[in-house]
Every structure is written in C-alpha cells, then in structure tokens.
Structure 1
Amino acid sequence: MDYRQARTQAGFWLEYVALRAVVALLSFLGVDRGSAFMGRLWRWFAPFNPRHSRADQHLANAMPDLTSGERKRILSDMWENLGRTFAEGLLLPEIVRRPERIVLSDGLAADIRAIGAGGAVFCSLHQGNWELLAVGGASLGKPFAGIYRELKNPLAEAYFRSRRETAYPGGLVAAGTTSILRLRSLARSGVAIAMMADLPDGTGIVAPFFGHPALLSKLPVTLARHLGLPLVVAHCRRVDGAHFCIEGERLDLPHTDNAEADVDQATRVLHATFETWIRSEPGQWMWATRKWPNLALHDAASK
C-alpha cells in the first residue's frame, strides 16, 4: 500500500469513527432531542455554506413575491429541516420501532390498500423527511425497496446501509448500470419501489418548474408505464418536531400509441404536484439543488 492509499484509508477510518461518535451522541439524546439538536446546529451554521446563496437565488427566482426577510426565514427553516432529517436518518432503527410518529392520510392509505399484493412505483421529493415514506407504507403491510447512491467510504457505506435497511424491508438497491433491472424484478414480485424524483436529471425532460426551464426526472413515470404498475406520488411533511404526516395520491398515467408523449405529459403532472407541495411548505424543501440549468449558468457567470 502506497502513501496515497494509506492516507485514504486513514481518512475513511477517521470519518467512520466520527460518524459512530455522532450516532452515539444522538442515540443518547433520543430521537426528539437529537433531531432538535442537529436542526438547531444546521440552522445556525449552514447559512455560512456556499450553497446558501444558491438556495436564496433559487427561492427568489421561484417565488419572486417574497421579501428578503421571508426568504431568510424560509431558508432558516430549510436548514433546520435538513439538519433534523440528517439526525433522523442516523436514528432510523429507533424511528422504525416507533411508527406512531408517522401518520398516513386516509386517501393515501386507501390507495396503498387498493394496490394489494401487486408492485407499484412510489416517488417523492426532498421535502420533510423523505426517508420515512417507506416506514409509513410498511405499517400497512406493503414492503418498500429504495434506490440510493453509495458512499465513497466503504466503512461508512456499510454502516449507513445497515441502519437504512430497517426502513426498507423490500431491500436497498445501489444506483448503477444494473439497478433498473433489479428494480424491475422487485416490482414484479410485488414490492413497492420508492425513489426520489425532484433532483435534476440530465436524462429527463426540460419543462417549466416554478416558471423556469428545469431538468425533470422521468424515471418513475417511465418505469411505471413500462411495467404497467400504479404510480403513487407522496410526501412526508414534518408537522411537529420529529412527528410526520404522509400525504399523496395515485396518478393516472396516459396510455396512447405515443409512449414518449405519455411519459412527457405524466412527468409534467408529477412535477406540478411537487410544485404545489413545495409552495405550501417552502421551508421543508431543498432549495440548493441545481434544478434549473439556466439559473445555474447565470449563477456561475455572476461569480
């Protein structure tokens, strides 16, 4: 092992030890106090992150009627929510053991029950605590599988995965070249596939989002239409500290002879739903995402 490899391995171990220390602290505090503690830290310190100015610009462009004071409040709420979500992600096993923290709306519960033993595609957005959609679905006996991006640190990756698996009885699938095949297999076996659909996707379509051209992911619509599965869109709102309400609905997918046009239309409807939810709770969405390519170019040119 050369010096560079040794330094990398040492860095991995330091990150892992720090991670375990944070989990130990949060476990000692418990879910409610740990979530509040991390949320407060992020509210105080995250605005010094370079992403804060990007988030502020995106919010100003998306909701131009807001005053600077209103944007400041929303972004402070956003950072607190992200800090809380980070802590709750590390404490997933504890939250899974307390499902009463998560309430499903009657309409969404009815849609999940109507699916029965068949597979489905569930998509959500980075609002509230998005990890808990699977926990809510499992409370109705529906196994969920999740797709995620692996961490570069193998020690942290193995530890994170072991804790996240408690929320995904259908399994976790690492994003990659074979992930779609695995997701198809799981969906055909009756598992609900949970995925995020609000991040920018260069393989998707370009369409208006908050009035500006944005990169919209079409993966959930494509997968649902290709496999003939129901598509459910849901979000997990934070309603009181570490307590949540999951709301959503089944989206009707168009089926014509033009599959590409059908996917385009349904993707726009999906993101229109996202936009409505974000407008209702703007402090719970992740505004720093590079959703708008033209705005990203503008930001880069202005620096």
Structure 2
Amino acid sequence: MTDSPEPTPRTAPAEAAATPSLAHRFEFAALRAVAGLVGLLGVDRASATMGAIWRLVAPRLSRHRRADEHLAAAMPQLSAAERRAILLAMWDNLGRTAAEGLLLPRLAADRSRFTVDTTALEPCRDAIAKGAVFASLHMGNWEFCGWGIHLAGFRVAAVYQPMKNPLAESFLRGLREPLYDAGIFPRERMTPIRLRTLVRQGVAVGMLADLRDRSGIVAPFFGRPARLATFPAVLARRLGVPLIVGRVVRTEGARFRLDARPVEVPRTDDAEADIAAAALAMHAVFEGWIAETPSQWMWAHRKWAFARAPEVDDGRD
C-alpha cells in the first residue's frame, strides 16, 4: 500500500455472491412485507409499535434468560425487579431499532431527530480530518453511529457483518449506503486493506467493537473475563491516526443524542502492548456508558461465552 490516495469504489462487492435458496426467498418476502407495513405506519408509530411487540414477546424467549444472567453478573446490586425493568426497556429499544433500520434514509433526512455533541473532539478535529478510526457499541440505535460522524463534519465509511440471506443483504445494504459517503464494506478478507487505504485518504472508518471477538484479548469486562475486540486499536496504532469512541443514546421515541471522545493510543516500542492498552481504554469507556444507560445495550449476546454466569435470583420464592 502506498501513502498516495487511490480510487476506492463507493461500495465493495462480497467476495462470493450466494445463490438465494427457497428459504431465503420466503424470508425476503416476509422482510419486504414488514418493511412495507413499517413504511405505511411512519417513523414514530412504527418505532413504538415494534418496540411494544418486542417488549411483549422477547421476555418469553431463551435469550431473555441469558440477558438476565449477564445483567445480574455485571450489576449484582440490582434486584430481580430492577433487572426485569431494564430488560423490558432493552427489548423495547431493540424492537424500535429493528423498525427504524427499515426507515434509515427517512430518519436521517430529519435533522431535528439528532443532537450531536462534538465538544470532546474539537481539540483533535484537524487530526481526525486526516483520517481516523471510530469505534462504537450496540447502544441506542447503533445504525446511526456513522451518521453521527457525518453530522460532525467528517467523511465516513463503515464495516459491517453481512447477512447470510443474499436478498435481505442487498435490500438492507441499500438502506444503509446513503448514510456513508465513503462506502460500506462487509467483513471479509480484503476489507482491512481497503480500510487502511480509506483512512490514508482522510476518511473516518467506523465499526462496532463491543461484541465478543475470538481474536481479541482476554480481559475483565464488568468484572468477568471476556474477549475484547482490538481491531480498532490495531488500525489506529498502525496508521498513526486518532482512535475515537462514540455512542448513540435514544432520548425519547425515535430521537437520539450522539457524542464521542478520543481514546489515547500509546505509541512505544512495544506495539502489542500499545494495542492492548488502547483496547482496554476503549472498553473502559464502553463499560461506563453501559452502566450509565444499561437498558440501551444488548445484554443477550455471548460476550462472556467462556465464563459461566452465576445463578441469578429470579424474584420467586
């Protein structure tokens, strides 16, 4: 790779296009039907309706038990009733996020729905404009993490996990693309090379980094060992650019507050230690944000998959 700018396509095709199966076609038909209904309801009613459905249905599923175990282990001071209230609000938020994900361009077009606080970024704005790495977490409606970078005045690209259903993947990708003026890129073999090129062109590359990463470091997260993602720190350290962490907080209904702050990336003779230190600092910010608004983070994923959660009090005798 050279330091000079290289032409980069707006989007990058998947390395191998899958042929849709019959099941894929049925799934896609259902998705389009839901998208059509959501579009008819409009942003606010669709968001509230999907949130209410998830709030009703999700607590009856096995993932609710896992989420309760994780929340109890992370915040043992909470009572069973307090955990239940947080998790019901979590499911409501996730339902709203699902509906809003089908209305991304319509939501993004309404600037009044977003409050962006860039105060913490002002001292390093010039450095960010030359290229940066943004890392965020599954909080609020995380689909707008990249939109927050754009609203802050920077060119932005994103990395995402593609769906297995190629029809749904193409449809949902089409909804996301307008939010990223420098493109969106699936997690695949060539993506790190593309990202390095983009950063050197002055693009802010955004990615979610709060879920379990099998290639990451093992360190405490809410007091229990977890696999912590290091790729944002690796990219920032190797390219000598700022590492920024950001979040999207749902304030009321389909309205959001977006803010971000820089994370120090040490640059010593020990690159491995520098990366670990930056990754730990990044997750320390995540942990603080989650503790601040626990009802807006996804507790049901397998962040601590290899660490058994303690038995929890379900509030029943």
Identify whether the pair has TM-score above 0.5, normalized to the shorter chain: yes
Runs of 4+ in 1 over 3 A off after TM superposition: 111-117, 296-299
Q: Which residue of 1 aligns with 2:132?
A: 120
Deviation of 1:111 (Å): 5.6
Give the letter aligned to residue 220 of structure 1: P
1:193-212 aligned within 5 A: 193-212=205-224
More helix per residue: 1
Structure 1 gaps, min length 5:
1-6
TM-score, normalised relative to structure 2 = 0.88
- Other-structure match for 1:91: 103
Deviation at 1:112, TM superposition (A): 7.0
| Whole-angstrom CA distance in 1 between matches of 2:310 and 2:79 | 21
CA distance in structure 1 between the partners assigned to 2:153 and 2:119 by the alignment: 16
- State the shift of 1:116 in Å: 5.4
Question: How far apart, in 1, do the equivalents of 2:290 and 2:132 lie?
Answer: 24
Q: What is the CA-CA distance between 1:153 and the residue it aligns to?
A: 1.3
Separation in 1, partners of 2:77, 2:306: 21
Cα deviation for residue 109 of structure 1 reads 5.6
Distance 1:8 1:178, change over 3 A: closer
Aligned twin of 2:8:
none
Q: Which residue of 2 aligns with 1:3?
A: none
Residues paired across the two proteins, number:
293
Q: Which residue of 1 aligns with 2:164?
A: 152
Task: String of CA shifts for 1:82-119, please: whole Å, max 9, x gaps.
Answer: 11111111110101211221111141463674345311
Match status 1:49 vs 2:61: yes
Distance 2:21 2:128 in 1: 47
In 2, the alpha carbon distance for the partners of 1:263 and 1:295 equals 24
Question: Following TM superposition, by how much is the alpha carbon of 1:254 offset from its aligned partner in structure 2, in angstroms?
Answer: 0.9
AA of the residue aligned to 1:249:
R
* 8 Å Cα contact 1:123/1:194 also seen in 2: yes
Q: Letter of the aligned partner of 1:283 in structure 2?
A: S
- The answer (yes or no) to whether the contact 2:70–2:309 under 8 Å persists in 1 is no
Q: Could you tell me whether the CA contact under 8 Å between 2:128 and 2:242 is conserved in 1?
A: no
Question: Structure 2: how far apart are the matches of 1:10 and 1:197?
Answer: 33
1:242 positional shift: 0.5
In the alignment, structure 1 residue 10 sits paired with structure 2 residue 22: yes
- State the shift of 1:297 in Å: 8.2
Conserved? CA contact 1:99–1:135, under 8 Å? no
Aligned to 2:10: none
Return the TM-score normalized by structure 1.
0.92
Alignment CA distance shift 1:74-1:171 (3 Å): same
Task: Give, in whole Å, the separation in 2 of the partners of 1:48 and 1:163.
Answer: 31
Residue 278 (structure 1) aligns with = 290
Change (3 A) 1:255 1:116: closer
Decide whether the 8 Å contact of 2:146 with 2:179 is kept in 1. yes
| CA–CA distance in structure 2, aligned partners of residues 216 and 150 of structure 1 | 21
For structure 2, the residue ranges without an aligned partner over 5 or more in a row are 1-18, 312-317
* Overall identity of the aligned pairs, in %: 47
Secondary structure of the structure 2 residue equivalent to 1:123: strand
Provide the residue aligned with 2:72 in structure 1: 60
1:4-57, Cα deviation, whole Å (9 max, x unpaired): xxx972222211111111111111111111111111110000112211101100
Report if the CA contact (8 A) 1:35-1:83 is conserved. yes
Is this contact kept in 2: 1:129–1:237, CA < 8 A?
yes
Higher mean C-alpha deviation, range 14-23 or range 36-45? 14-23
AA in 2 matched with 1:242: A
SS at match of 1:268: helix
Contact 1:213 1:293 (8 Å CA) reproduced: no
Name the residue aligned to 1:107.
Answer: 119
Structure 2 residue identity aligned to 1:117: A
Mapped partners of 1:38, 1:142: distance in 2: 32
Q: Is the 8 A contact 1:137 1:143 kept in 2?
A: yes
- 3-state DSSP of counterpart to 2:198: helix
Q: Deviations over 1:172-198 (max 9, x none)?
A: 101011111111111111111110110
| CA drift at 1:296 | 4.6
2:7 is aligned to none
